[in-house]
Chain A
Amino acid sequence: MLSAFDRDAERQRLLTRRMLVLGGLKAGAVSALLARLYYLQIVESDKYATMADDNRISLRLLAPPRGLIVDRHGVPLAVNEQNFRLVLVSEQAGNPQEVLDKVAQLIPVSETEHRRILRDLQRSRRFAPVTLKENLTWDQVSAIEVNLPDLPGSSIDVGQVRSYPFGEATAHVLGYVGAVSEKELVGSEDPLLSLPGFRIGKNGVERHHDLALRGTSGTQQLEVNAVGRVVRELSREPGQPGRQVTLTLDAKLQHYVQQRLSAERSAAAVVMDVQTGGILALNSSPSFDPNQFATGISQDLWSRLTSDETGPLTNKAVAGQYPPGSTFKMIVGLAALEAGIATPDTRVFCPGHLELGGHRFHCWKKGGHGGVNMSDAIKHSCNVYYFEMARRLGIDRLSEMARRFGLGGRTELDLPGERPGMIPNSAWKKATFKDVWHPGETLVAAIGQGYVLATPIQLAVMTARMVNGGYAVKPHLTSEVEGLYEAPTAWPEVGVKPEHLKVMINAMNRVVTEPGGTAYSARIMQAGMEMGGKTGSSLVRRITMAERATGVKKNEDLPWKERDHGLFVGYAPVHAPRFACSVVVEHGGGGKFAAPIARDILLECQMLDAARLSAQQAERPPERAADSGTPARGTSL
């Protein structure tokens, strides 16, 4: 039997041993904790640091301001306007319903809007702003600002919306902006496109220069907490704002032309600088208000625009294809001169018609013009003379000359939606109709009818190339894209003898300036600003014998859609042509209806130019004008 002391000693030895075992186990466990800490905080640290940042840093895109579009004088054509929105953060509102009721007393809130707001409030997080009302007027903004203390959680938010100061006048040139479609999103790398509310160019210059105007996205690093609430901004990289696009357009002229065209039911006109090819005005009427597109167009308005038979959404200046009618005769004359089958003095007798292959081809003047030379035939727009020239030439030489003057193919204008027009030749006919070209078809083509189609822009280019000394200018709307592009200034020659061109210019001068010319009544009276040009009317539908019998003798007796188009191509001033212009009045009866429009336009652009010149001289300090070695920029527009 052990003593009590021994028993206790034995017990204590056992306890101490087991205590050490237990201590060892604990030490092992703590080592495991340390190893785990080492693994997480050293070995895998980078991985978890990244995950922690992913958790807390939310990368948001900043939409850059869209580039401005200005005219050649710096007048803004497309700008960004502030769009005032009323937003509500329901968390700060206390009772959102109550705030909404108070808002409804200040600004009108429709039943559908009310429902939309309630739905949005329910769906979004309590700290996220919900838009109550967009596009607030200044009066509404002030009304709300004054009452803000009574509207907890609400605030006025400023966004940007595209605005077009000239509205309808520039709608067809500038186009408009709209929301990104599913199709546009596919294949694009630009993250901006996926931003809600981001708008891109849908038509016109807005679309053509969209990438430059758009700019590049900025980024904003925000710190967010576990529920996504923004805690603070960590960094901001503003991105590249959209570039400014300067057009060759003259805003005042563009505005004037639109006004002038609106007198007609449907018309288009183009004015260009004959030397540079820069488009000064390009109009299609009727038009639409692009500002309504920027803020979202109503279904009602959209269906009205699309169903209108005058095509307000179509840019007829580049997409309208018309038989050029008699405006095509200069091409026939030039082709004949260049081919050497006629001289300016070659005379043809016009008895009122020409017989070919058993068919009778009529001149517009029943009794005929008698004996005419090439110039007379332009002045009086004699068909028979050009029937004869075309008969001698054949379609292929004729179409080749047409192409040199920019017809029969897109002019490569920097605007979407341009259509090519049509200049037929024998190969084309063979390929398309599996048929030979008939000589009679050449006669029809000679007076710009039949297969021949041209757009107003092509007609303006044709005119410019004739009167600028024979340079193959190409039309362009863009004079400069900030830091990216500048319009070309030098052009190749067309390759037509200057004396031949001179014949045609003189003939066109006579059309307007000589009594008996087809556009004499539309001449410009201001000395030094006279214009030259050529009328044309293109047959939409032949008046049938049956109709003649029932009394429909004139165009005006037909339904609008079936009347002839009126055309005019012109230039001014005649002594040193600088502006070329084409006007098409759809179903406008004939060239005599288009000529006065062209006259007014050509007069206006010269007047504007003169006014600007005198204003510039008035502004210039006399001492600087005296010692300046640089020549006065008198010819600049």
Chain B
Amino acid sequence: MSGWDLGADHANNMTLGEKLGQVTWSLVLLIILVASVGFAMLYSAANGNWDPWASRQAVRFSVSVVMMLVIAMVDIRIWMKLAYPLYAVAFVLLVAVELVGQIGMGAQRWIDLGFIQLQPSELMKVTLILALARYFHGASVEDTGRILFITPPILMTLAPVGLVLMQPNLGTSLILIMVSGAILFLVGVRWWKFGLVIGSALAAIPIAWQFLHDYQKNRVLTFLYPENDPLGTGYHIMQSKIALGSGGLFGKGFLLGTQSHLNFLPEKQTDFIFTMLAEEFGLVGAAGFLGLYCLLLLYGFIIAMRCRNQFGRLVALGLTVNLFLYLFINCAMNMGLIPVVGIPLPLISYGGTATLTVMIGFGLLLSVHVHRDVRMSRRGMGDF
């Protein structure tokens, strides 16, 4: 690519055409490829029908691709400028969801905006990354060594986590904490401090246990002792393992997964879609898919390395960590490695907000790359 080494001065004043030239089109193609795997699986989940999932997902995705490119064109300095306001908006929405949110499946997670069922906790993941990246943009190594300096970002994380826990949504809370922790780690917070926090968190588990909802306790207990609940959640874990295992090396073939097509597999179009893929395409297909997904993560990694400003690097890495956590938690849950938590597989699982959020993330990632040479002062806004 010719655009890898634009001068900083030029980078600060790119035309739209130049910006489009800077877009990592191979990444865009990769995203479309992975999403297409998702459409195929949704097509299979509906027993070889585009309705009701695959077609709708494809339409949503197409819209989000355009949105992603628009976000990519917006100057990274504007995103930095908007980081705190956006975080504030997401936070207010989270509070609002507590007050007026739609209740579904025992949790209060949605705000019905008419055209979309908005899930503010999803938006919070992206805005928290932006806000933390802005906070640490100007921070020196010495700054991050000071407890007082890292207190505000910790509070910025824990406030939404508390709200999301109240919904209740344990999975998203954990992702918020882990993403935030990853950023703190990247900016240089000492190892021993993490050790201290993790240690005390482990010590706090018995206390935290008291605050978990019954269904959450059950999920953990069922994971630890699946034989206690062969017909409930344990049944789902068991059926998922059967589906995966029976896929074997090459799988049962597209549209031929017996576990998924005969409805033994629960939630096959959302949380357990990876299992379905592994059943129909076997170890070869599942490993290939993981490889494809890791390639996506690698792109995030490389974009962060090439970026010349701390904000962009942190945003890219934060988004990559976020994407990775989705992938890992979902797959590990499908394989029975961790308890069942309601985490979708981005670009694959059926769902509106999840697709929207992940595409916003990719938009920002592309923006980081397009504007990688933009110079930003320690204070952030100076040169704009």
Contacts and interface: CB of A to CB of B under 8 A. Distances in A.
Interface of A: 4, 7-8, 10-12, 14-16, 18-19, 21-23, 26, 29-30, 32-34, 36-38, 40-42, 44-45, 47-49, 51-53, 55-56, 223-227, 231
24 contacts: A7-B141, A8-B310, A12-B310, A12-B313, A14-B188, A15-B310, A19-B301, A22-B321, A26-B297, A32-B337, A36-B337, A37-B278, A37-B286, A40-B335, A41-B282, A42-B283, A45-B249, A48-B242, A48-B243, A51-B242, A52-B243, A55-B239, A226-B263, A227-B263
Nearest to A20: B301
Contact of B249 (A29, A36, A41, A226): A41
Given A4-B378, A22-B182, A36-B337, A15 B313 contact: yes
Interface in B219-259: 239, 241-249, 258-259
A357 to B, nearest CB: 86
A37 B335 contact: yes
A37 B249 contact: no
Given A37-B290, A40-B241, 16 more contacts: A11-B141, A18-B185, A18-B186, A19-B317, A22-B317, A29-B324, A29-B328, A33-B337, A36-B332, A37-B335, A40-B244, A44-B245, A45-B245, A45-B246, A48-B243, A55-B264
Main secondary structure of the interface of A (DSSP, over half): helix
Contacts of A10: 141
B247 A41 contact: yes
A51 B324 contact: no
Nearest to A54: B242
A33 B242 contact: no
Contacts of A231: 262
B245 A41 contact: yes
A53 to B, nearest CB: 8
B149 to A, nearest CB: 14
Contact of B264 (A4, A14, A49, A56): A56
Looking at chain B's contact residues, the main secondary structure is helix
Interface of B: 140-141, 182, 185-188, 239, 241-249, 258-259, 261-264, 278, 282-283, 286-287, 290, 294, 297, 301, 304-305, 310, 313, 317, 321, 324, 328, 331-332, 335, 337, 378
Contacts, number: 131
Nearest to B139: A11
A224 B263 CA distance: 10
Nearest to B378: A4
A225 B244 contact: no
A53 B242 CA distance: 10
B305 A16 contact: yes
Nearest to A41: B283
A32 B248 CA distance: 18
A23 B301 CA distance: 8
B235 to A, nearest CB: 10
Contacts of A19: 186, 301, 304-305, 317
A48 B304 contact: no
Given A18-B185, A30-B290, A30-B328, A11 B310 contact: yes
A10 to B, nearest CB: 6
Contacts of B249: 41-42, 45
Among A15, A23, A36, chain B packs the most CB atoms within 10 A around the CB of A15
Contacts of B259: 52, 55-56
Contacts of A14: 141, 187-188
A37 B283 contact: yes
Contacts of B262: 55-56, 223-226, 231
Contacts of B304: 19
Contacts of B244: 37, 40-41, 48
Nearest to B189: A18
Contacts of A55: 239, 242, 258-259, 262, 264
Contacts of B247: 41, 45
Contacts of A34: 287, 290
Contacts of B258: 52-53, 55-56, 223
A225 B266 CA distance: 12
A224 B259 CA distance: 11
A49 B283 contact: no
Contacts of A47: 245
A498 B331 CA distance: 97
B246 A51 contact: yes
Most buried by A among B262, B290, B378: B262
Nearest to A50: B246
Contacts of B187: 11, 14-15
B305 A38 contact: no
A54 to B, nearest CB: 9
Contacts of B301: 19, 23
A7 B140 contact: yes
Contacts of B140: 7, 11
A227 B297 CA distance: 40
Contacts of B331: 33
Contacts of B332: 32-33, 36
Nearest to B240: A40
Nearest to B317: A19
A226 B257 CA distance: 13
User: Which 3 A/B pairs are nearest by Cβ-Cβ distance?
Assistant: A48-B245, A52-B246, A225-B262
A30 B324 CA distance: 9
B231 to A, nearest CB: 11
A224 B262 CA distance: 7
A41 B242 CA distance: 9
Nearest to A2: B140
B18 to A, nearest CB: 25
Contacts of A21: 185
Contacts of A26: 297, 324, 328
Given A49-B245, A55-B262, A33 B335 contact: yes
A398 B141 CA distance: 127
Nearest to B335: A36
Contacts of A33: 290, 328, 331-332, 335, 337
A226 B246 contact: no
Nearest to B294: A30
A457 B195 CA distance: 99
Contacts of A45: 245-249
Contacts of B297: 26
Contacts of B317: 19, 22
Contacts of B243: 48, 52
B286 A41 contact: yes
Contacts of A53: 246, 258
A90 B130 CA distance: 57
B128 to A, nearest CB: 17
Given A11-B140, A22-B185, A48-B241, A226 B294 contact: no
